[in-house]
Amino acid sequence: MPEISMTVNGKPAKGHIEGRTLLVDFIRENLGLTGTHVGCDTSQCGACVVHVDGRAVKACTIFAAEAEGAEVKTIEGMAEPDGTMHPIQAAFQDHHGLQCGFCTPGMVMSAAALLAENPTPTEAEIRAYLEGNICRCTGYHNIVKAIMAASGQDVSRIAAE
């Protein structure tokens, strides 16, 4: 089986894979980084979103071999080394933007990609951007609110949290 190597959360990572191995399986099975989740098989749900060279990518939708040499960031790479959560992670906790937690890693990674390209998105822009991330628990209310808060917007006037 061929060997691939990439940088994952700032550390070198390599492993032997089959040609058909998906990036998400390499991350979960070879590297043991189980924060990235698989929620569907049609690239719809977004539970597997990671960053590849700074872009949000559904890790179930590319082969591991396609990420050869890339800089990959997963949910495990978002907090500071001392455990301090990234402002988006903190906002999700502050505003109850997660319940069962399964879609959450993908939501956080998508939110981070959104704020990188649009630092103060409107409610409508956030909802449109999250088209590829499905949450079954929260009704999205507190996810949208958390992302607005993480971008520095005043969310105190939005209906109860």
Interface residues with other proteins (CB under 8 A) are: 18, 20, 33-42, 44-45, 47, 74-76, 78-79, 83, 85, 89, 92-94, 96, 98-105, 108, 123-124, 126-128, 130-131, 133-145, 158-161
Closest to other proteins by CB, 83 or 119: 83
> What are the tokens at 114?
């959104």
Give the shortest CB-67-to-other proteins separation in angstroms. 18
What lies within 8 Å, CB to CB, of 141 at 6+ separation is 159
Task: Yes or no: say if 130 and 107 are a contact pair by the CB < 8 Å rule.
Answer: yes
| DSSP letters spanning 97-111 | --SS-SSHHHHHHHH
Using the minimum distance from each CB to other proteins, give the nearer residue, 69 or 159: 159
Q: Closest approach of Cβ 63 to other proteins, in Å?
A: 14
Pairing of strands 3-8, 71-73: parallel
